[in-house]
Chains A and B, each alone.
Chain A
Amino acid sequence: MVWSDPEIKRLSKEFVTVADEAYRLYPEWEGHLRDAAQRPDHVFFKRFGEQMPAGDWNRKGTKQGIYMIGPDAEYLEGRFAASGEPADVRARLRRALERWDALREEKGYANRPVPPKPWAPPPGVEGELVLRVNVRDLPRGAGDRSGARRHEVAESRMWLDFTKWAWNEGWVAIDRARSLVPTGRAEEPVDPAVWRQVVREAFVDTVRGQAPEWKDEEVREARVTMRRREDGRIEYRGSFRAEGGGRAFSGKVYGQGVWDDSKGAFVELDIVALGERSGKAQFNQRENDFGPAPMGVTLSLSRS
């Protein structure tokens, strides 16, 4: 991915760096587009797009891409679907900064240093306990490379290459962190409502692309118990099954956590879910991979 390129990382420091959802910024369906028409971020992005050269802006379709934009939506550079070629992005960043030098002089932009941004949960992810969710395919037997890292896989420059190394990351927020802390020494169930929420929101096949959360009635099983070990660590064991809408995912769960009473918070928490998935969602690129096939989901306190 382009963001590991050292020169791109260096050049990015000249910008206010923003990541956002393309469909929300510029919906393709007429109804959603009408709803977005007066939203300031859509208006801003649309104004920018109207200045883009025809070949670099996907006028009738998705606006996924990398774009360099002035403070008043001025065109600097950019291209739709531009996240695979570091050399191209480097060149566009350099051209953008050349245009920026002229623009800021013309308009008197202050060009103050961009301050670092401390990590915070994404908008809408709110709760006492915010866990990072990762999902990846697992190997399907001897010789199978499912779940490999991108640098371990030969590329053929075809778009579907990404399915060879795909993985995804999201977040799940639990309102009350203590709902994952045993009250005594005996094994006890985690609040079923909490665990159902986790299964519904986090145990979703997004390895290759977007997929909706499970509906509540599609979570057929969600059971996890917790107990305090002799060493004070908390151990989680359980199982889950979700099925509906032409897809399914079921398996087993194991994890460990460390709760610090003095802080009233977890200082360590890692949970692994391994199981078998099948079927597809509309946008998760499983048309040629219905399964069943193994998939792993992890939940972690650590952000990286």
Chain B
Amino acid sequence: MVSCLVALLALSSPEPDAGNYRSWLRFVQPDAREQAYKEIDWRTSLREGMAEARALGRPILLWTMNGHPLGCT
């Protein structure tokens, strides 16, 4: 699949159409390994996590990046 798409790119600027758009979807979108982080139930704000942690008496695991890690910017 990748070699076909690369061949298409070598000919001209890529153009999506009915015949190839699903291949391009698969190429651009993350696969299962790349999306493994979604198997964890992330709360999307520390405020939400703080309230829940206090209510449950549980610790927080915070993943923080410049640019929200879940694309929530």
Contacts and interface: CB of A to CB of B under 8 A. Distances in A.
B16 A111 contact: no
B63 A18 contact: yes
Interface in A1-56: 1, 3-4, 9, 12, 14-23, 25, 40-41, 44-45
A255 B21 contact: yes
A264 interface: no
A104 B45 CA distance: 23
Nearest to A233: B18
A275 interface: yes
B71 A171 contact: yes
Contacts of A93: 61
Nearest to A165: B34
Interface in A125-168: 125, 133-136, 138-142, 144, 147, 149-151, 167-168
A294 B57 contact: no
Given A3-B40, A65-B64, A122-B68, A76 B33 contact: no
> Which interface residue of A100, A124, A270, A296 has the most chain B CB atoms within 10 A?
A296
Contacts of A45: 46, 62
Interface residues on B, range: 35 or more
A181 interface: no
Interface residues on A, range: 35 or more
A140 B5 CA distance: 11
B24 A21 contact: no
Given A44-B46, A104-B57, A276-B13, A149 B31 contact: yes
A133 B45 CA distance: 20
A273 B17 CA distance: 10
Interface string B59-73: 111111111111111
B14 A274 contact: yes
B64 A19 contact: yes
B30 A22 contact: no
A295 to B, nearest CB: 9
B30 A66 contact: no
A22 B13 contact: no
Given A19-B44, A69-B60, A123-B72, A64 B65 contact: yes
A126 B63 CA distance: 24
B10 A64 contact: no
Given A100-B59, A122-B68, A254-B21, 7 more contacts: A16-B43, A18-B49, A18-B60, A66-B61, A170-B73, A210-B66, A303-B38
Interface of A: 1, 3-4, 9, 12, 14-23, 25, 40-41, 44-45, 62-72, 76, 78, 83, 93, 96, 100, 104, 108-114, 116-117, 122-125, 133-136, 138-142, 144, 147, 149-151, 167-171, 206, 209-210, 235, 251-256, 270, 272-276, 283, 294, 296-298, 300, 303-304
Interface of B: 2, 5-7, 9-10, 13-18, 21-22, 24-25, 27-31, 33-50, 52-54, 56-73
12 contacts: A3-B37, A3-B39, A4-B37, A14-B58, A19-B62, A19-B68, A21-B65, A70-B60, A138-B14, A167-B28, A275-B13, A294-B13
